[in-house]
Amino acid sequence: MTEFIPPGTRWLDLPSPFAMKRGGSLHGARLAYETWGQLDPARGNAILILPGLSPDAHAAANTGNPEPGWWEAMLGPGKPIDTDRWFVVCVNSLGSCKGSTGPASIDPASGAPYRLDFPELSIEDGADAAFHLVRALGIERLACVIGNSMGGMSALAYLLRHPGSARAHLNISGAAHALPFSIAIRSLQREAIRLDPQWNNGDYDDAHYPESGMRMARKLGVITYRSALEWDGRFGRVRLDQSRQEHDRRDDEDPFGLEFEVESYLEGHARRFVRRFDPNCYLYLSRSMDWFDLAEYCDAPCGDRGGDVLQALAKIRVDKALAIGVSTDILFPLQQQEQVADGLRAGGADASFLPLDSPQGHDAFLVDFARFGPAVRGFLDAL
């Protein structure tokens, strides 16, 4: 398994055994993380970032690794998440393959990779692992937990399972449970991987690798992370340049090959991803999102799912919260962030919902800094 762990990654050894929500436990597991800024003497200026499915812990350049990170425009001195003021911690999710323990890691019991012997992974396991890290860094109470996408789920699990662990919460394109439409898309992504004969029930290697399945899964991901509106302006109906060598371009030999720029864009994205993310880790993380449902924490189920989710959200105690969503997001639609704000407000938080008109869909927080920058800065500055 090819792992891509950024230089400068730091590790926390998790308690061993580390019990998993759905049963089983991990031995000798660790969590990869990076930090920015200085923890103040009162330890009151700490922010935890819980990322989406695929990112590593390298959200931005730091002393350990000067390379730009996946949220470079948002995180650093003077930036919206201002590291002159805040001490920021970002993790690689438990179950991932960018340094944290996951299905691609060595199982100490066998000396071989866990693969499908990794215990069933829940969003809650990742949240609990991050909580151990925060405590190990000497932080009793975070100033804010920021969660993006899947991380928005993790953040809610974190806050609910660890009362009093944070003063504020910023939920970005997250959700309190998975919707059936998103479950359907992720199920299809997993099916693409599982259908690839090279997946071989999880037992692949670099020479026999489920490349096609991963490529399909990633393309479907990229499609659903963006929006029709954005791509119309970006690609239109432009054809591939006939003079350039392109992979799989449509010609007499391959009449159904790639023809439009948008197809080539997807192909390029997918090719860059498939060997940089472990397929089994992808399956585990993807499934953990489908399973996530904060309504499980509702004390007195009212039988109405939306009501149960709101009840569970209202058990979370934070002083301030902001849930940001994007109107063109089809994967975590706007109603889900509104629900998060409503539920946290019902729990007593000063909670707001901010819908943004970004054309970039679910991924807008990774690219639309003109809208997300001021929104995040405004919320954090007022803490």
Nearest distance in Å: CB 276, its own copies = 20
Minimum distance from CB of 314 to its own copies (Å)?
19
Contact with its own copies (CB under 8 A): which of 97, 134, 168, 262? Answer: 262
Structure tokens at 18: 């580390």
Give residues 111-140 in contact with its own copies (rule: CB under 8 A).
116, 120
Alpha helices (H) in 196-278, listed in sequence order: 211-225, 228-235, 261-274
287 binds its own copies (CB under 8 A): yes
271 near its own copies, rule: CB under 8 A: no
Question: Under rule CB under 8 A, which residues in 330-369 are in contact with its own copies?
Answer: 330, 333, 335
Q: Which of positions 178-207 make contact with its own copies (CB under 8 A)?
A: 178-185, 187-188, 190-192, 194-195
Question: Quick check: is 187 catalytic?
Answer: no
Q: Report residue 4 as tokens.
A: 């891509």
**Cβ neighbours, 10 Å, residue 319:** 13
Beta-sheet strands, E only, within the chain? 10-13, 18-19, 25-26, 30-36, 46-50, 75-76, 81-82, 87-91, 106-107, 112-113, 142-148, 166-172, 320-326, 350-356
Rg of the chain over all Cα atoms, to the nearest angstrom = 21
| Stretch 234-253 residues interacting with its own copies (CB under 8 A) | 234-237
205 is in an annotated binding site: no
Q: CB 369 → its own copies: shortest distance, Å?
A: 23
Among 40, 203, 232, 319, binds its own copies (CB under 8 A): 232
Residue whose CB is less far from its own copies, 80 or 361: 361
Contacts (Cβ under 8 Å, ≥6 apart) of 223: 266
Size of the site for its own copies (CB under 8 A): 50
Which of 329, 342, 358, 368 is an active site residue? 329
Does the annotation place 363 within a ligand binding site?
Answer: yes
> DSSP label at 201?
G
Q: Is 362 marked active-site?
A: yes
216: its two tokens: 């399909």
The CA-atom distances, in angstroms, between 145 and each of 48, 51, 154 are: 5, 11, 10
Could you give the CA distance from residue 383 to residue 380 in angstroms, rounded to a whole number? 5
Active-site amino acid positions: 149, 329, 362
Which residues line the annotated binding site for substrate? 218, 363
| Interface residue list for its own copies (CB under 8 A) | 116, 120, 177-185, 187-188, 190-192, 194-195, 212, 216, 219-220, 223, 226-229, 231-232, 234-237, 255-256, 258-263, 266, 283, 287, 290, 293, 305, 330, 333, 335
